[in-house]
Amino acid sequence: MMAEAVLANRRGGLGRTERRDLWWAGPLATALGLGGFVVYATFRALYNTDFRVVPPDSAYILSPFYSPLIVLPWLPPWVSPAILILWAPGGFRLTCYYYRKAYYRAFFLDPPACAVGEARGHDYRGETRLFLFQNLHRYFLYLALIFLVILSIDVVYACIWPADGGKTFGISVGTLVLGTNVTLLTLYTFSCHSLRHLVGGNVDCFSCVAMGQLRHGLWKNVSLLNKHHMFWAWTSLFMVAFADFYVWMIASGRFTDLRIL
Amino acid sequence: MAETMTLEIHRGDTAGGELVSYTVPSTPGMVVLDAVHFVQAHHAPDLAVRWNCKAGRCGSCGAEVNGKPRLMCMDRVDKYPAGEPITIRPMKTFPVIKDLVSDVSWNFEVNKKIPAFKPRNDRPPRFSQEEADRVQEFRKCIECFLCQNVCHVLRDHQRKEEFGGPRFFVRVAALEMHPLDDGNRTGLLKQDLGIGFCNITKCCTEVCPESIHITDNAIIPLKERVVDEFYDPIKKLFRILMPQSRPEAGD
């Protein structure tokens, strides 16, 4: 059994690796998923119509892209109500610790995958300098919590149906879509790393601080959700786009919102 | 006749190296380190490989198998496709001493920068099991340095002067989150250990043989503590209005 010399190849450079698995599949799927969402959300934000269904034909059903609905008549027509508000949930996702991992890998290729080479020659600074804005995540979290309240109120409105000059409780597919959307957004928001830090992660000695047991309980529960933060991030992202799409379809008359109750 | 497999093992030192192919019989339950030991015993007695416990406890036998950082003693050969060679190289981030042995001494220099545990004097030395659980995870680290090896800040960007690396964020987390520690290492994290260079791509977590949630449980909580102290204007305002003394570790 003679030893046989073969060529060694250990140079760096974008995509260089000895990994033999499908390391590129993850970043590619992420790029397609996030890229597709950004394209759709931008289109719908600029579309500025078919974003709500109003009584008397239905309950009041508002697209999550346009909630809260802020109408300022003095703004130019291309500045839709969605553009006025989407920066807040968009900023929450942009600075989210999970999405940071996802887009640094998928779009910045820094790195494309573990133990896979990167483009050389750029002055890597990580999350210093330009990317210091990522530290605003907790402020976007505060805004996201406000949005959860607003979107929950939208679900309540989607349960109030007109009936013989009055109002009645009712549930349609649209109500369920908005309800599922706010549920997934709540799970995504309550699994946030910054929230985990704020409710108890910043405490070293729970038995030494005021409300230590309560804070430990909160921290533990947020930690449980946090283990699946990526799952909540993707499902809530898909659902918010689907909820908007559903409202678009019923508002434009392509579908009829089926009332269940 | 026993089945065989081909290993391509890095042979060389700081002056340069090449992959050399060896044929090794495959046996049930064999791990990569067994195969390397076979090569050492039958083909290349001068093959350098660092190992100790052969049980995933000592962290000595870290290498890159088919391009992925792993402990060779915990990596079974039967998971690799039969008929394809298995490539074994030393960890890329550290200088090669010989063959599969890297010089990891830089890590020990980084370790010296971290102030040791500083006990509190203002309360009895007691804490609950729940508080112990949190820091216990970090004590599982076996210092194999696979996380340091895979971290692209060190591996590709060579920021060894400015960045400590995931292993040392785990160590700082074990100290900072300890209920009886009185030190404050957030300044160290920001400056000397350069936690801002980490862009949380989670490769350290993916390769950790002890399954420590390095990114979620150590690095991100430490990043949040750095934000508390240096980048949160509301927290800063609170500190001005309600000053608390929190001494630096080592004071």
- Altogether, the residues listed in chain B come to a count of 251
Q: Is the pLDDT of residue B251 over 80?
A: no
Q: Are B90 and B64 in contact (CB under 8 A)?
A: yes
Inter-chain CB proximity A127 and B231 less than 8 Å: no
Rounded mean pLDDT, B203-223: 98
Q: Count interface pairs A-B at CB distance under 8 A.
A: 151
Q: Please, are residues A159 and A195 in contact by the beta-carbon 8 Å criterion? A: no
pLDDT for B180 equals 94
Strand pairing partners for A251? none
**CA separation (Å) from B114 to B118, B173, B177, B251?**
11, 11, 14, 13
Does A9 have pLDDT greater than 80?
no
Chain A residue whose CA is closest to B201: A101
- pTM (two decimals): 0.94
Mean pLDDT of chain A: 93
Q: Does A215 touch chain B (CB under 8 A)?
A: no
Q: What pLDDT, on the 0 to 100 scale, is given for residue B85?
A: 96
Q: What is the pLDDT of residues A22-66, one digit of tens each?
A: 999 999 999 999 999 999 999 999 999 999 999 988 999 999 999
Q: Do A111 and B152 touch (CB under 8 A)?
A: yes
Percent helix, strand and coil across chain B, each to the nearest 5: 40, 15, 45
Contact A132 B196 (CB under 8 A): yes
Interface of A with B in 55-94 (CB under 8 A): none
Which of B6, B185, B200 best tests the A interface by mutation, with the highest count of A CBs <10 A? Answer: B200
How far is B101 from B48, CA to CA, in rounded Å? 6
Per-residue confidence (pLDDT) for residue B250, from 0 to 100: 38
**pLDDT the model gives residue B236:** 87
How many angstroms away from the CA of B57 is the closest CA of chain A?
Answer: 23
Residue A8 has pLDDT above 60, yes or no: no
Q: What is the C-alpha to C-alpha distance for residues A236 and A151, in angstroms, rounded to an integer?
A: 13
Q: Which residues of A touch B10 (CB under 8 A)?
A: 8
B199 contacts A126? CB cut-off 8 A: yes
The number of C-alpha atoms within 13 Å of A63 and in the hemisphere containing its C-beta is 28
CA B171/CA B145 separation, integer angstroms: 12
pLDDT at A4 over 70: no
Half-sphere exposure of A71 (CA within 13 A, CB side): 4
C-alpha A219/C-alpha B104 separation (Å) is: 36
Query: For residue A17, which residues of chain B lie inside 8 Å, CB to CB?
Result: 67
pLDDT in tens, B137-166: 999 999 999 999 999 999 999 999 999 999
Q: Could you report the per-residue pLDDT of A102-123, keeping only the tens digit for each?
A: 999 999 999 999 999 998 767 8
Nearest CB to B201 within list A105, A205, A206: A105
Tell me the CA distances in angstroms from B166 to B56, B108, B118, B212, one per residue in order.
19, 13, 22, 11
Q: Which two tokens stand for residue A37?
A: 């969402």
Which B positions 93-122 lie with beta carbon below 8 A of chain A?
none
Name the band, by pLDDT with cuts 50, 70 and 90, for residue B54: very high
Q: Is A135 on the interface with B (CB under 8 A)?
A: yes
pLDDT digit string (tens) for A169-222? 999 999 999 999 999 999 999 999 999 999 999 999 998 889 999 999 999 999
The domains found in chain B, sorted by start residue, are: 4-102 (3.10.20.30), 105-245 (1.10.1060.10)
pLDDT tier at B206 (50, 70, 90 boundaries)?
A: very high
Task: Kindly state whether A197 is in contact with chain B, defined as any CB-CB distance less than 8 angstroms.
Answer: yes
- pLDDT at residue A78, rounded to an integer: 87
- Identify the residue with better confidence: B166 or A129: B166
How would you label B167-202 residue by residue, b for 16+ Cβ within 10 Å and e otherwise? bbbbbbbbbbbbbbbbbbbbebbbebbbbbbbbbbb
Q: What is the ipTM of this complex?
A: 0.93
Across the interface, do B131 and A206 touch by the CB < 8 Å criterion?
A: yes
Average predicted confidence (pLDDT) for chain B = 94
Structure-token match 């962290």, residue found: B59
- Interface residue B225 vs chain A (CB under 8 A): yes
Tell me whether A189 touches chain B (CB under 8 Å): no
Q: What 3-state DSSP class applies to A62?
A: strand
- Report whether pLDDT(B130) > 70: yes
In angstroms, the CA B242 to CA B251 distance is 22
Rounded to a whole number of angstroms, the distance from the CA of B241 to the nearest CA of chain A is 19
**Are A127 and B199 within 8 A, CB to CB?**
yes
- The answer to which of B124-128, B177-181, B230-234 has the lowest mean pLDDT is B124-128
- Digit-coded pLDDT (tens) for A60-97: 999 999 999 999 999 998 899 999 999 999 999 999 99
Question: Residue A165: its pLDDT value, please?
Answer: 84
Residues 179-208 of B with CB under 8 A from A: 179-181, 194, 196-203, 206-207
